[in-house]
């Protein structure tokens, strides 16, 4: 029986978090050891996780932190714990707690990774309307941060980077790659992590089919919402869940160089100014 260490972070999404774990473990033959980092939830998430049942010889580790942690920070805590406690583990899985997994999704990801001798496999998700929302990503330019999602395919496609909504890695790949970059607060840590795997020559492939459902982030009410005022858009852009300038500049400079970082740093403000 394969042993999988499953990592997630959560904050006040009790029903989503429970559904995510319930669905992931449905028709799963692996021995799953779950590590959840809760960022100060007060909606019953902690109590639900403390009592969460794990079968097949698995275990559950709850790490409690305060609400100052967002996705990247929470996952860094989980990955630090995993690195020190994965001696008897075969695989590491990173998930988002708003994914509803299809039955048997984890078994299918393990089988695909082993069949193609890959270092990691990225699960594709689709929205409730049926459109792909997350998954493996292909670079469209070597000089600018432009990408497209890679759809599921029977023949494996190499991923340049990825979303971490459903990512399965070999233990060796996980340990040698290290943790997410601590420069990020919320987003961009997963894309950056994927770019590191690519530079290291790792084989990262997509899934043959969708592994679950997960709606994309809604543009309405975000910094990209053209119906709200410029000042509100700017405020949201610089918030931890927007596109904060320091995080974004760091990502682009690290992966594309200073010229691209300058260009990409300016363009969001131009969009806001022109209401685009």
pLDDT tens digits for range 163-222: 999 999 999 999 999 999 999 999 999 999 999 999 999 999 999 999 999 999 889 999
SS3 60: strand
All structural domains of the chain with their residue ranges: 3-213, 230-273
Separation CA 96–CA 75 (nearest Å): 10
- Which of 43, 42, 25 is CA-nearest to residue 34? 25
The DSSP code for 153 is -
- Average pLDDT on 47-60 reads 93
State mean pLDDT over 38-42: 97
Query: Given this model, what pLDDT does residue 56 score?
Result: 85
- The three-state (H, E, C) secondary structure of 256-276, written as one string: HCHHHHHHHHHHHHHHHHCCC
H-helix or E-strand spanning residue 181: none
User: Per residue in 34-54, is it b (16+ CB within 10 Å) or e — as a string?
Assistant: bbbbbbebeeebbebbeebee
Ramachandran quadrant class, 104 (left: phi over 0; alpha: psi -120 to 50; beta: rest): left
pLDDT band at 33 (very low <50, low <70, confident <90, very high): very high
Side-chain half-sphere CA neighbours of 100 within 13 A: 10
What is the per-residue pLDDT for 167? 98
What average pLDDT does the structure give for the chain? Answer: 97
Q: Yes or no: say if 57 and 31 are a contact pair by the CB < 8 Å rule.
A: yes
Helices (H), the chain: 14-25, 45-50, 71-84, 105-115, 171-177, 189-199, 230-238, 245-256, 258-273
Q: Please give the CATH topology (third level) of the domain spanning 3-213.
A: Spore Coat Polysaccharide Biosynthesis Protein SpsA; Chain A (3.90.550)
């Amino acid at each position: 029986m394969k042993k999988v260490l499953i990592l997630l972070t959560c904050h006040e999404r009790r029903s989503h978090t429970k559904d995510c774990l319930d669905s992931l473990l449905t028709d799963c033959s692996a021995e799953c050891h779950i590590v959840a980092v809760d960022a100060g939830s007060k909606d019953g998430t902690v109590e639900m996780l403390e009592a969460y049942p794990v079968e097949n010889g698995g275990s559950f580790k709850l790490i409690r932190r305060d609400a100052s942690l967002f996705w990247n920070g929470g996952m860094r805590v989980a990955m630090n714990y995993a690195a020190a406690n994965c001696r008897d583990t075969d695989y590491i899985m990173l998930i988002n707690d708003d994914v509803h997994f299809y039955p048997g999704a984890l078994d299918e990801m393990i089988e695909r990774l082993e069949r193609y001798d890959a270092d990691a496999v990225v699960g594709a998700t689709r929205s409730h309307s049926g459109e792909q929302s997350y998954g493996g990503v292909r670079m469209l330019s070597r000089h600018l941060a432009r990408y497209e999602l890679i759809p599921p395919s029977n023949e494996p496609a190499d991923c340049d980077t990825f979303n971490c909504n459903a990512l399965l890695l070999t233990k060796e790949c996980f340990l040698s790659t290290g943790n997410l970059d601590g420069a990020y607060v919320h987003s961009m840590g997963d894309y950056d992590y994927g770019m590191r795997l690519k530079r290291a020559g790792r084989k990262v492939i997509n899934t043959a089919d969708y592994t679950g459902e997960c709606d994309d982030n809604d543009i309405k009410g975000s910094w990209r919402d053209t119906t709200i005022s410029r000042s509100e858009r700017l405020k949201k852009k610089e918030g931890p869940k927007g596109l904060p300038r320091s995080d974004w500049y760091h990502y682009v400079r690290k992966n594309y160089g200073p010229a691209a970082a300058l260009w990409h740093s300016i363009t969001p403000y131009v969009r806001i100014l022109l209401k685009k």
